[in-house]
Amino acid sequence: MGNENRIINALLKLHIVLCLLFIFAPIAGSFVFSLNSDRFPSLPLGEFSTEWYRLIWEDPLVWQGFGNTLVVGLTVAVIATILGFGGAYTDFRYNFTGKSVYVALALLPPTIPVVIMGLAMLAFLSRVNLSGTTISVIIAHGVMCSPFAMAIIRLRLSQMDPDLEAASWNMGGNQWQTLRYVIIPFTKPAIFAALFITMAVSFDEFAVAWFVSGLNETLPVKILGFLQGQVSPRINAIGSLAFLSSMTLIILAQLLLRSPEEEK
């Protein structure tokens, strides 16, 4: 029996390793390929080369895309976090008729397929003459990112002692002062985490941005353009850099959420 258990446990471990390999091989692959001289890498791998990084460094279109991504990402992070904070606090504090509809409407966007979101956004925004602008990408990403911000901040609020707010009111603090001196300091780690995570989501979103961005393409939309063209290992170089920046944001967010007590 004990022997059998050990075999089963070893097989389960092996299965997990294989799953992780399957999930991370493409990500690790794109790193390796980005530093490889071959246009289409195969076994055996070609020589080490930073050629693809030099090419994207010198490509003004990549820089332009990067600029757009940055502007969109930063703006979306702020908007989505403010909207999400309001939604999270509303869900935490108030009871009202139609609350479930309110929460559903707030959290539903990520479940709608991106092609459908893209088409709906394009049709609507071009009707109000906004399609093809950076603003349209910001609007669309605001819709898609605010649910994440709301979920993160709501989770933090549920860890708060409800008496804390009552204590503040009892001591004569009005709602605004309570928000300023009690709620916001308590949720601060989650607010920063929400900023970073929504920024990371916006950085990688390509489908809806592709539908609505027109000529103001963000970097992921540029990658889509490269994909439609010929084989280009520049995708790997851009992807690796994008991965590093997203990972930085996620790790920052994780650190903030992990040790909320030290954060005062």
Partner 1 sequence: MTKRPTLFSLILSMPLLLWQLLFFLFPLLFLVAISFWTVRNFQMTPDLNFGNWERVLSRGVFWDAYFRTMVLATTAAVVTSIIAFPASYAISFKMSEKAKRWMIFILIIPFFTSYLVRVYSLQVFLSDAGIINAAFAYIGLGPFPMLNNAFGIIVGMVTLTLPLVVLLQTFSLNFVNRDLIEAAHNLRCGRLRTVFAVIVPSAKVGLVIAALFAFILSFGDFVSPLYLGGGNPPTLSIMITDFTKSGQQWPRAAVVAIMMIITLLTAAFAAVTYAYKERGK
Residues numbered 157-216 forming contacts with partner 1, rule: CB under 8 A: 175-176, 179, 200-201, 204, 206-207, 211
**CB-CB contact of 101 with 39 (8 Å):** no
Report the residue number, 25 or 264, with the smaller CB distance to partner 1: 25
Q: Which two tokens stand for residue 221?
A: 């939309």
Which has the closest alpha carbon to 239: 217, 214, 220, 261? 220
Q: Tell me the closest approach of the beta carbon of residue 101 to partner 1, in angstroms.
A: 10
Among positions 33-52, residues that touch partner 1 (CB under 8 A) are 33, 40-43
82 binds partner 1 (CB under 8 A): yes
229 binds partner 1 (CB under 8 A): no
Report the residue number, 128 or 171, with the smaller CB distance to partner 1: 128
For 193-221, letters b (16+ CB in 10 Å) and e give bbbbbbbbbbbbbbbbbbbbbbebbbbbb
116 binds partner 1 (CB under 8 A): yes
Among positions 119-138, residues that touch partner 1 (CB under 8 A) are 119-125, 127
Per CB under 8 A, the list member of 114, 190, 194, 195 interacting with partner 1 is 114
Q: Tell me the closest approach of the beta carbon of residue 49 to partner 1, in angstroms.
A: 15
24 binds partner 1 (CB under 8 A): yes
- For residue 44, is the peptide bond before it cis, meaning its omega torsion is within 30 degrees of 0? yes
Which H helix or E strand runs over 7? Answer: helix 2-34
224 binds partner 1 (CB under 8 A): yes
242 binds partner 1 (CB under 8 A): yes
Per CB under 8 A, the list member of 250, 252, 260, 263 interacting with partner 1 is 250
Rounded distance, CA 134 to CA 245, Å? 21
Report the residue number, 100 or 264, with the smaller CB distance to partner 1: 100
90 binds partner 1 (CB under 8 A): yes
Rounded distance, CA 221 to CA 207, Å? 7
Give, as one character, the DSSP assignment of residue 110.
Answer: G
- What secondary structure does DSSP assign to 27-93, as a single string? HHHHHHHHTBS-SS--SSP--B--HHHHHHHH-HHHHHHHHHHHHHHHHHHHHHHHHHHHHHHHHHH
Report the residue number, 59 or 204, with the smaller CB distance to partner 1: 204
89 binds partner 1 (CB under 8 A): yes
Scanning 63-71, 151-159, 185-193, 222-230 for contacts with partner 1 by CB under 8 A, the matching segment is 222-230
For 115-129, letters b (16+ CB in 10 Å) and e give eebbeebbeebeeee
Report the residue number, 134 or 264, with the smaller CB distance to partner 1: 134
